[in-house]
Amino acid sequence: MATILPCEIEFLAEDELIKVTPRFREARLQMISGNYGPFAPGVPLKIPIWMAMNLKSRGLVIVHQPRWMSAEKLKEWLDSENADNTNAIAPLHYHYREISRMILQNCRDNLSDVTEIEQLIEDIWNVRVSKLKMSCKNVLKERWQNEIPDHGGVFKVNNFTQMEVNFIRANFLKGLNVSFVMSNKITDIEQKAAAHQLADDTTNTSSFPTGSSASTLSQFTQSQTQN
């Protein structure tokens, strides 16, 4: 089962645009991912984060704090996360964890409230991940009580970012696989046991499709919304 590394997700997040103020003059750059407009000192514009980090490390730009990354907004988000015990709130930015890590590592002098923001992001992450883990545990514990459909079941996950889902991916998928294999085994032997019992009944000679109820149940695509 292939998984994706956190640094690879960060790589995907680096394509997001961020506002910067350049300190140099340059004509329009035509790159594969898009055109990034003429750079003039003091004129803010939006460029992708990978470009921004590189220019920042060379001292050529000033990075602006993203609008969603202010202490007040993050505090609001944390409070609403804490208020709701099972669901996750829609994140302020889809890649909040990666972007905040990159910006906090490279652009500390351009930001305000750095330590507070670090703490808030950490707290938000912990709360969300613990909610996700709790849902996973519940799913694993209760999964075998219903009939698991042929394709293994479909689970919907709302409002979680790519990074958080990747955090639990390996173990959760393993657990789902194991319970799937075992549950299929159980249905198999139950069907066979039922077939043995019916074969012992000498009254009915017409062919009775054994285990038909079990197989029709498994035709249902059972999608459980996971909150």
Partner 1 sequence: MSDLGIVDDQSASYLDIDDILMTENKISCRARYDLVDLELRRTAEDFHEGKKVDLPIWMAMRLNEFFRHEIPKQYNTHFQGILNADPEVVNLHKEGPKYFAMGLQLTSENFDFADDEDIINMCQTLLQASARRVSWISDMAAADHYQQSKVDSKLDDMEKEMYAKAISERKSWEDWTRGMSNRLTESKFIAKSRKRKRDALAQKNN
Query: What are 186's two structure tokens?
Result: 């159980």
5 binds partner 1, rule: CB under 8 A: yes
Nearer to partner 1, 90 or 195 (CB): 195
198 binds partner 1 (CB under 8 A): no
Phi, psi of 157 (to 5 degrees): -120, 120
User: Of these, 144, 216, 221, 223, which contacts partner 1 (CB under 8 A)?
Assistant: 144
Shortest Cβ distance from residue 183 to partner 1 (Å)? Answer: 6
Q: In angstroms, rounded to a whole number, what is the distance separating the alpha carbons of residues 167 and 90?
A: 18
Kindly state whether residue 185 participates in binding partner 1, applying the rule CB under 8 A: yes
| Strands laid side by side in the 17-22 sheet | 45-48, 17-22, 61-63
190 binds partner 1 (CB under 8 A): yes
The 3-class secondary structure across 78-121, one letter per residue, is HHHHHHCCCCCCCCCCCCHHHHHHHHHHHCHHHCCCHHHHHHHH
133 is a site residue for partner 1 (CB under 8 A): yes
Could you tell me which stretch among 39-47, 63-71, 86-94, 139-147 binds partner 1 (CB under 8 A)? 139-147
Among the listed residues 57, 177, 221, 223, the single contact to partner 1 using CB under 8 A: 177
The residues binding partner 1 (CB under 8 A) are 3, 5-7, 10, 101, 105, 133, 136-137, 140-141, 143-144, 167-168, 170-172, 174-175, 177-179, 181-183, 185-186, 188-190, 192-193, 196
